[in-house]
Chain A
Amino acid sequence: MSLELKNVEKKVGAKTHIYSTNLRFEKNTINVLLGSTLSGKTTLMQIMVGLDKPTSGEIWFNEKNVTGVAVQKRNASMVYQQFINYSNFTVFENIASPLKILGVKQDEIKNRVGKVAELLKLSDMFNKRPHELSGGQQQRTALARALVKDSDLILLDEPLANLDFKLREELREELPRLFENRDCIVVYATTEPMDALLIGGNTATIHEGNIIQYGKTIDVYNEPINVISAKVFNDPPINTAYANKKGELFSIEGNSVSWSLQGNLNKLKDDRYTIGIRPHSITPYKQKENSVKIKGKVLIAELSGSESIIHFQSGNLNWVSLSTGIHPLEVGVEAELYMDVNQFLYFDQNNKLIKHV
Chain B
Amino acid sequence: MGKTLNQKAWFFVLPVFILVAFNAAIPLMTVVNYSFQETFGDNVFFWEGTKWFKQILRSERFHDALGRQFLFTSIILIIQIPLGIAIALSMPKKGPGVSICLVLMSMPLLIPWNVVGAMWNIFALPEIGFLGKAINTLGIKYNFTQQPFAAWFTTILMDVWHWTSLVVLLSYAGLCAIPDAYYQAAKIDGASRWAVLRHIELPKMKKVLTIAILLRFMDSFMIYTEPFVLTGGGPGNATAFLSIDLVKIALGQFDLGPAAAMSLIYFFIVLLICWVFYNLMMKNEGQK
Residues of A within 8 A of B (CB): 46, 50-53, 68-71
Quick check: A50 and B4 within 8 Å, CB to CB? yes
Q: Which residue of A lies closest to B6 (CB)?
A: A70
| B3 surroundings in chain A (CB, below 8 A) | 51
Quick check: B6 and A46 within 8 Å, CB to CB? no
| B1 surroundings in chain A (CB, below 8 A) | 46, 51-52
Q: Is B2 an interface residue (CB 8 A)?
A: yes
Q: Which residue of B lies closest to A70 (CB)?
A: B4
A52 CA to B3 CA in the complex, in Å?
Answer: 6
Query: Which residue of A52, A69, A71 is within 8 Å of B2 (Cβ)?
Result: A52
A68 CA to B3 CA in the complex, in Å?
Answer: 10
Query: Contact string, B240-272, partner A, CB cutoff 8 A, digits 1/0?
Result: 000000000000000000000000000000000
| A46 surroundings in chain B (CB, below 8 A) | 1
A132 CA to B4 CA in the complex, in Å?
Answer: 35
B3 → chain A closest CB, angstroms: 8
A176 CA to B4 CA in the complex, in Å?
Answer: 32
Q: Other than the known A46-B1, A68-B4, A70-B6, what 11 A-B pairs have Cβ atoms closer than 8 Å?
A: A50-B4, A51-B1, A51-B3, A52-B1, A52-B2, A53-B2, A53-B4, A68-B5, A69-B4, A70-B4, A71-B4
In B171-211, the 8 Å CB interface with A consists of none
A186 → chain B closest CB, angstroms: 22
| A50 surroundings in chain B (CB, below 8 A) | 4
A46 CA to B1 CA in the complex, in Å?
Answer: 9
In B1-46, the 8 Å CB interface with A consists of 1-6
| B4 surroundings in chain A (CB, below 8 A) | 50, 53, 68-71
Residue in B2, B3, B5, B6 with the greatest tally of chain A CB atoms within 10 Å: B2
* SS of A interface (majority): loop
A71 CA to B2 CA in the complex, in Å?
Answer: 12
A68 CA to B1 CA in the complex, in Å?
Answer: 14
| B6 surroundings in chain A (CB, below 8 A) | 70
A69 CA to B4 CA in the complex, in Å?
Answer: 8
A51 CA to B1 CA in the complex, in Å?
Answer: 8
| A68 surroundings in chain B (CB, below 8 A) | 4-5
Q: Which residue of B lies closest to A67 (CB)?
A: B4
| B2 surroundings in chain A (CB, below 8 A) | 52-53
| A51 surroundings in chain B (CB, below 8 A) | 1, 3
Q: Which residue of B lies closest to A10 (CB)?
A: B2
A63 → chain B closest CB, angstroms: 21
A15 → chain B closest CB, angstroms: 14
| A53 surroundings in chain B (CB, below 8 A) | 2, 4
Residue in B3, B4, B5, B6 with the greatest tally of chain A CB atoms within 10 Å: B4
A209 → chain B closest CB, angstroms: 16
Sample of 7 A–B contacts (CB below 8 Å): A50-B4, A51-B1, A53-B4, A68-B5, A69-B4, A70-B6, A71-B4
Q: Which residue of A lies closest to B1 (CB)?
A: A52
| A71 surroundings in chain B (CB, below 8 A) | 4
A69 CA to B3 CA in the complex, in Å?
Answer: 11
| A52 surroundings in chain B (CB, below 8 A) | 1-2
Q: Which 7 A-B pairs have the closest CB atoms?
A: A70-B4, A52-B2, A52-B1, A53-B2, A53-B4, A68-B4, A50-B4
A53 CA to B6 CA in the complex, in Å?
Answer: 13
A50 CA to B5 CA in the complex, in Å?
Answer: 11
B245 → chain A closest CB, angstroms: 48
A50 CA to B2 CA in the complex, in Å?
Answer: 10
A53 CA to B3 CA in the complex, in Å?
Answer: 7
A145 → chain B closest CB, angstroms: 21
B250 → chain A closest CB, angstroms: 47
A134 → chain B closest CB, angstroms: 21
A46 CA to B2 CA in the complex, in Å?
Answer: 10
A70 CA to B3 CA in the complex, in Å?
Answer: 9
B54 → chain A closest CB, angstroms: 44
A69 CA to B2 CA in the complex, in Å?
Answer: 13
A57 CA to B182 CA in the complex, in Å?
Answer: 46
A80 → chain B closest CB, angstroms: 13
A172 CA to B4 CA in the complex, in Å?
Answer: 33
| B5 surroundings in chain A (CB, below 8 A) | 68
Q: Which residue of B lies closest to A43 (CB)?
A: B1
Q: Which residue of A lies closest to B4 (CB)?
A: A70
A51 CA to B2 CA in the complex, in Å?
Answer: 8
Q: Which residue of A lies closest to B5 (CB)?
A: A68
A70 CA to B1 CA in the complex, in Å?
Answer: 14
A46 → chain B closest CB, angstroms: 7
Q: Which residue of B lies closest to A42 (CB)?
A: B1
B141 → chain A closest CB, angstroms: 60
A155 → chain B closest CB, angstroms: 15
| A69 surroundings in chain B (CB, below 8 A) | 4
A264 → chain B closest CB, angstroms: 48
A252 → chain B closest CB, angstroms: 43
A8 → chain B closest CB, angstroms: 14
| A70 surroundings in chain B (CB, below 8 A) | 4, 6
Q: Which residue of B lies closest to A50 (CB)?
A: B4
A53 CA to B5 CA in the complex, in Å?
Answer: 10
